[in-house]
Amino acid sequence: MANTLNDCKVSASERLMDYEEHYGAHNYHPLPVVLSKGKGVFVWDVEGKRYFDFLSSYSAVNQGHCHPRIVKVLKEQADELCLTSRAFYSEALCEYEKFMHEYFGYDRILPMNTGAEGVETALKLARRWGAVKKGIPNDKIKIICCGGNFHGRTVTVITMSDDPSSYAQYGPLTPGFVRVPYNNIEALREALDQYGDEVCAFIAEPIQGEAGVFVPDDGYLKRCFDLCHEHNVLFIADEVQTGIARTGRMLCSEHDGIRPDIVVLGKALGGGVLPVSACLADDEIMLNIQPGEHGSTFGGFPLAARVAMEALKVVKDEHLVENAERMGRLFREEISKINSPFIKQVRGRGLLNAIVTEPVAGKTAWDICIRMMEKGLLAKPTHDHIIRFAPPLVINEEQLREAIGIIRETFEEMTA
Ligand SMILES: *Cc1c(COP(=O)(O)O)cnc(C)c1O
């Protein structure tokens, strides 16, 4: 990128992107658009151009940008009390704990901030349960994870990844993981037979979002869940991306009719305004961790507690589960009608969908996303050739049809 730091003829966007180019770590490769405003399903760039947001910050903005109810609660609580740490009780956290118990039906919540921390917490809960309840020696304990997973970016969490761009040259990694291919029940059976007594948990995403919205076969999760229980192994569902109405169910695990032993939530739990994550589990798992044995300064802070409760109330009051299911069907139906050599497959559940593309005449998914951006819709390729489409769940039919129009025109123009 040319150095435009002192050039007054460049646009605001170019100047700002140059700041990041020069002063930010290069740990992301964003589309060249600089956003400064959002409302519902739309975002605006610094030049005032409007876009459909079809990424929703990787499903952290399920309730739509700057939802008035969530922002109101955020502001009100900010004026009252923001942070207490867990050295003292806070009114907001106590209410949040009871609320979450009633909302999701688990005995208890362990509140954290980011998704990766939520996953770390689930791994610690599982290891502790394995040590206390199953009597597995600490140096033997194992957790089974899946090929193609994405659970976050901390060192232990990237240990589970089989994507070199996640783990390479960050070693030494954390021992105690066994990886099996996703969507392969026999592989899990073999791993459990081989390591059974030493395994405390199996962790999976109900749909692999970062892997490109990879949807496993119907019943796969149910069979994993049953197999785990036959071996006295905990089933951990990482619902950070799939949870909170995204796939047309409150939790994606419901598609398979299972109730995971530990659920990890994040992203949309923060209503698109704060990082809020949590582990949900019952007493037998949760109560093995005693005071002082795990925590986070900000975990469950009053601001987060109020925001999370409002974010979840909005999901129910605005029927976002039902809307995600209905709009998702419409999306896949209409996108499947597009006749383009770029499109290999359309897949997903609810409003977590993807188009698997194939390069044509040297044009790739990145070029398609650039063209969609120019036409007013933001989506981002994952793994080079897959484009994820995940708008805020508040999208209505008219907006969705307009967005589908942009996507259709883009594919038609790309081959014209
Ligand atoms: C995004 C994501 C995470 C990590 O969440 P962060 O808040 O980025 O740490 C973990 N698991 C899944 C399935 C995710 O999609």
Average pLDDT in the 327-342 region? 97
Cβ–ligand 1 contact at 148 (below 6 Å): no
Lowest mean pLDDT among 2-6, 23-27, 64-68, 230-234: 2-6
117, 151, 203, 253: residue to mutate for ligand 1 pocket, most atoms within 8 A of CB = 151
Task: Report residue 7's pLDDT band, with 50, 70 and 90 as the boundaries.
Answer: low
CA distances from 404 to 54, 217, 367, 396, 399 (A): 11, 27, 18, 12, 9
Give pLDDT tens digits for 150-162.
999 999 999 999 9
pLDDT tens profile 74-108: 999 999 999 999 999 999 999 999 999 999 999 99
Query: Cα(332) to centroid of ligand 1, in Å?
Result: 25
- The C-alpha torsion from 349 through 350 and 351 to 356, rounded to 10°, is 20
Q: How far is the CA of 269 from the centre of ligand 1 (A)?
A: 12
Say what the pLDDT of residue 8 is: 65
What is the set of active-site residues? 150, 238, 267
Residue 415 makes CB contacts below 8 A (sequence gap 6+) with 340, 341, 342, 360
**Structure confidence at residue 196 (pLDDT):** 82
pLDDT surpassing 90 at residue 9: no
297's tokens: 């300064």
Ligand 1 site, residue 274, Cβ cutoff 6 A: no
238 lines ligand 1 (CB under 6 A): yes
Q: pLDDT value at position 2?
A: 53
Task: Pick the more confident residue, 8 or 171.
Answer: 171
3-state DSSP call for residue 76? Answer: helix
Per-residue pLDDT at 1? 47
Does 207 sit in the ligand 1 pocket, CB within 6 Å? no
Tokens of 145: 């994870």
More confident position, 6 or 149: 149
Q: Is 58 in the pocket of ligand 1 (CB under 6 A)?
A: yes
**Quick one: average pLDDT of 351-367?**
95
CA of 58 to the centre of ligand 1 (A): 9
In a 3-state reduction of DSSP, which class is residue 15?
A: helix
Q: Is residue 416 predicted with pLDDT exceeding 90?
A: no
Element (H, E) at 203: strand 199-204
Q: Is 114 in the pocket of ligand 1 (CB under 6 A)?
A: yes
pLDDT, averaged across the chain: 96
> What would the mean pLDDT of 305-334 be, rounded to a whole number?
98
Mean pLDDT of 379-383: 93
Average pLDDT rounded to a whole number, residues 366-383? 96
pLDDT at 67: 98
Residue nearest to atom 6 of ligand 1 (CA): 115
Ligand 1: atom nearest CA of 275 is: 7
Residue of 155, 158, 241 to mutate, ligand 1, most atoms within 8 A of C-beta = 241
Q: Is the pLDDT of residue 389 over 70?
A: yes
Coil, helix or strand at residue 144:
strand
Which ligand 1 atom lies nearest to the CA of residue 277?
Answer: 7
* pLDDT digits 0-9 by tens, 100-120: 999 999 999 999 999 999 999
Determine the Cα–Cα distance for residues 94 and 13; give it in Å rounded to an integer. Answer: 44
Omega of the bond leading into 32 within 30 degrees of 0 (cis):
no
Identify the pLDDT of residue 133.
Answer: 97
Mean pLDDT along residues 295-304: 98
Best CA proximity match to 215, nearest among 343, 354, 336, 332: 354
At residue 3 the predicted structure's pLDDT band, cuts being 50, 70 and 90, is: low
Would you say the CB of residue 261 lies under 6 angstroms from ligand 1?
no
